[in-house]
Amino acid sequence: KQEVTQIPAALSVPEGENLVLNCSFTDSAIYNLQWFRQDPGKGLTSLLLIQSSQREQTSGRLNASLDKSSGRSTLYIAASQPGDSATYLCAVSPMEYGNKLVFGAGTILRVKS
Amino acid sequence: EAGVTQFPSHSVIEKGQTVTLRCDPISGHDNLYWYRRVMGKEIKFLLHFVKESKQDESGMPNNRFLAERTGGTYSTLKVQPAELEDSGVYFCASSQVTGVYGYTFGSGTRLTVV
């Protein structure tokens, strides 16, 4: 059974810091891995999608890497800003389950100004 | 293009009542999914439609939950009768191609059963 773990559960950093969020998954047989952002009371916004054949994806100040063999992904946020404060969720699409997403519990990020 | 639309955004009902949640996917997206997050837990899969057919409903908690997708367009999720443990945020998502591309999620319906 696929399980997704995110570390840390919460993170508070001063503005301008570079930071790394971690995601691990137990079964490497996945179609893709997706990072989402959720603001309080809002839906999930897709940040980056990494296909199983890819190693990383970049969008602006965000960079996500995928090491499928070790079951790990990291989301790197450069020069953090207060507007980056949100919950960040990692989700995998396991081959075993067809097209479901299996989510981690998320990392709550607070960037202090 | 318009995103995935869900309504209501919030619903407060009493235990034993019925509630119907609605999701309008992105036009042309054959795949529609329902997920939910109960307090303190991860977001969990409920079910997956391909057009009007239920592809996978293995995540539905019990027979108090009924999902439909008439004509392969919008979907409804009915909870009847609602119980306290049904409280949470119900998300809908849609995608174009099964298993390959990412998902677009709606803003969710926050359901509170009192």
**What would the pLDDT profile of B25-79 be if each residue is shown by its tens digit?**
999 899 999 999 998 789 999 999 999 999 999 999 999 999 999 888 999 999 9
Q: In Å, what is the CA distance from B80 to each residue of A57, B13, B17, B65, B83?
A: 43, 11, 7, 7, 9
pLDDT band at A99 (very low <50, low <70, confident <90, very high): confident
Provide the pLDDT confidence category of residue B99 given band limits of 50, 70 and 90: low
Write down the pLDDT at residue B100. 52
Contact B98 A46 (CB under 8 A): no
What the block records as the tokens of B98 is 């099964």
Q: State the DSSP H helix or E strand holding residue A112, giving kind and residue range, or none if neither.
A: strand A107-112
Mutation to test the B interface, candidates A36, A101, A107, most B Cβ within 10 Å:
A101
Q: Please check whether residue B99 is in contact with residue A29, taking contact to mean a CB–CB distance below 8 angstroms.
A: no
- Give the B window 60-89 contacts with A, CB below 8 Å: none
Q: Which residue of B has its CA nearest to A37?
A: B105
